[in-house]
Chain A
Amino acid sequence: MTATTELPTRKDEAWRYSAVEKLRAGDLDAVRQIDVAAGDSAREIILVSDENSGETEIHRLKVNVGENARFEIFGVIASADYARLEVEVTLAKGAHFELGGITVGGRDTVREFVTRVVHAEPEGTSNQTVRSVHWGQGTGSFLGSIDVVRHAQKTDAAQDFKGLLLEKGATVNAVPQLEIFADDVKCAHGATVGQLDESARFYMAARGLPPELSRRLLVQAFIGDALVSLDDEGEQERLLRAALDKLDRHL
């Protein structure tokens, strides 16, 4: 037996909104290392949607993106009592990181994206878009930290989170954390939380759409933002469907 990673507590900033009580020894041991060579381009698609995926599902990635390389990750978290996609990315000169994330869930599930993006060299860019749709006592979170080191000038980093609460009792958390030590950079972040637009729903009903269909269309439009930069229509469709099916089955 090798040593097992020590389990965190809720006091750890990066685990504040997590269901730490659901973590078991060994859950955090597996960290996947990905290296994207200079000038290359790589994409990861992670879909947590298996109805039988059990209590916890944790994906931990450590990614080095080489000079002028591009790394994309698109993820939908739609199952497991507690699911977390954690990714730490280090960007070389001129490298780009793209994240499109969606969490959906009800009951008392907790589903989260946790990212740490290190702009370690100049001219790196990153763009992160997360959409969370929850109901019941469900929780969705996006904890995103961006570190820009002293000489990483001309960094351009953006984070955008929107949460949609379909029922009273659901929660979303957005924790942007920016540590910027260079002076010629662009870093933007935004977070909003809202409900379905009732006047849009009445308008849609007045045209003949039953409530479950208008909700599906509005949620589709809402989460679609996270997938606009995925230039593969088939994959876009597959991810959208996984998220919307969850909604149809459980709401």
Chain B
Amino acid sequence: MLKIENLSAGIDGKTILDGLSLEVPAGEVHAIMGPNGAGKSTLSYVLGGRPGYEVTGGSVDFMGQDLLDMEPHERAAAGLFLGFQYPVEIPGVSNVQFLREALNAQRKARGEEPLTGGEFLKLAKEKAALLGLDMEMLKRNVNVGFSGGEKKRAEMVQMGILDPKFAVLDETDSGLDIDALRVVGEGINAIMRQPGKGVLLITHYQRLLEVVKPDRVSILAKGRIVKTGGPELAERLENEGYDAVMGEMA
């Protein structure tokens, strides 16, 4: 579903991803763990197409399309969702207006009919309830005045409404307390654990992986994947640390 081959990329002339290869087939949740500075956030930004990040080599195939050749909004319409580590505040634009316009822009790009205001609100209510987010929060401006945990819940509500085929979630667990972590993890399961969908879950910690049980776990270090295994790899990392697990490969 997502096939990254020998990807090199960086910012301001500095190489951060250095020959990264990774494949996530449909129906799979693939967790990426790695020490600080390994390139985890850069990977998510490059997949999302953030301006400023320059791809210097390699390719990314997303469901048969050249992902790197598409504009960021085209990637979204093709079914890619990028969950932000630090969701952006947008004063003066309400969540409801933002998400309705975003969803309808995606639908238009796919040749589908737009949702009416009523249809959209019904959908938004359903997804907000799933993530335990008060509907009143969705009437407020995008992420403005939201706590860290509320922002992450709101990200998942957005994901539920937009219903992507593939999600790249960048440290969605950071800033969450244990209860919120469970709610968000179960939200990911409910929205993305479906046939034909895939997830790339970037995280520092094992905790989220206890709720969203990954099929595969990879370690990202110095801009490339250095080890891939089953869920037991995440447990070993948690117990032994990156140095110990990666040291044995040296």
* B93-A217 in contact (CB<8A): yes
Q: Kindly state the separation between the CA atoms of A206 and B106 in the bound complex, as whole angstroms.
A: 11
Q: Please tell me which one of the listed residues B49, B50, B76 contacts residue A207 in the complex, with CB atoms under 8 A apart.
A: B76
Name the distance in Å between B217's Cβ and chain A's nearest Cβ: 25
Given A203-B90, A224-B92, does the pair A217, B101 have CB atoms closer than 8 Å?
yes
In Å, the complex CA distance between A206 and B71 comes to 9
Q: Roughly how many angstroms separate A213 CA and B105 CA in the complex, as a whole number?
A: 9
**Min distance, Cβ A69 to any Cβ of chain B, angstroms:** 31
Closest Cβ neighbor of A203 among chain B residues: B88
Among listed A17-25, A85-93, A194-202, interface-contacting one: A194-202
Contact B76 A205 (CB under 8 A): yes
Q: Is B97 an interface residue (CB 8 A)?
A: yes
Q: Are B103 and A208 in contact (CB under 8 A)?
A: yes
> Does B102 lie within 8 Å of A207, measured CB to CB?
yes
Does B241 have its Cβ within 8 Å of any Cβ on chain A? no
Known pairs A217-B97, A217-B98; A205 contacts B73 (CB<8 A): yes
Task: Among B71, B75, B81, B105, find the residue whose CB has the most chain A CB atoms closer than 10 A.
Answer: B105
Q: Please, which residues of chain B bring their CB within 8 A of the CB of A198?
A: 51
- How many of chain B's residues have a CB under 8 angstroms from any CB in A? 31
**B77 interfacial contact with A, CB 8 Å:** yes
A-side contacts of B49, CB under 8 Å: 205-206
Interface flags, B214-237, vs A, CB<8A=1, else 0? 000000000000000000000000
B91 in the interface (beta carbon within 8 A)? yes
Let me know if A204 is at the binding interface, CB within 8 A.
yes
Min CB distance A159 to B, Å, is 20
Task: Collect the chain A residues with CB atoms within 8 Å of residue B58's CB.
Answer: none
> Does B76 lie within 8 Å of A208, measured CB to CB?
yes
CB pairs A–B below 8 angstroms (10 shown): A197-B90, A202-B51, A202-B72, A206-B72, A208-B73, A208-B103, A208-B105, A208-B106, A213-B101, A218-B90
Instruction: List chain A residues, Cβ under 8 A from B158.
Output: 207
Question: B82: which A residues are within 8 A, CB to CB?
Answer: 206
Interface positions of B (Cβ within 8 A of A)? 48-51, 71-73, 75-77, 81-82, 84, 87-93, 97-99, 101-103, 105-106, 109, 158, 162
What is the distance, in angstroms, from B110's C-beta to the closest C-beta of chain A? 10
Instruction: Give chain B residues whose Cβ lies under 8 Å from the Cβ of A197.
Output: 88, 90
Q: Which residues of B contact A220 (CB under 8 A)?
A: 92-93
A100 to chain B, nearest CB (A): 15
Residue in contact with B162 in the complex, picked from A207, A218, A225, CB distance below 8 Å: A207
Known contacts A202-B72, A203-B87, A205-B73; decide if A210 and B105 are in contact (CB<8 Å).
yes
A207 and B98 within 8 A (CB):
yes
Say if the beta carbon of A209 comes within 8 Å of chain B: yes
Q: Are A209 and B51 in contact (CB under 8 A)?
A: no
Residue of A199, A202, A208, A218 touching B109 (CB-CB under 8 A): A208
A208 contacts B93, CB within 8 Å?
no
Instruction: Tell me the A152-177 residues at the B interface (CB within 8 Å).
Output: none
Additional A-B contacts beyond A205-B72, A217-B93 (5; CB < 8 A): A203-B90, A206-B49, A207-B102, A208-B77, A209-B73
- Which of chain B's residues have a CB closer than 8 A to the CB of A200? 88-90
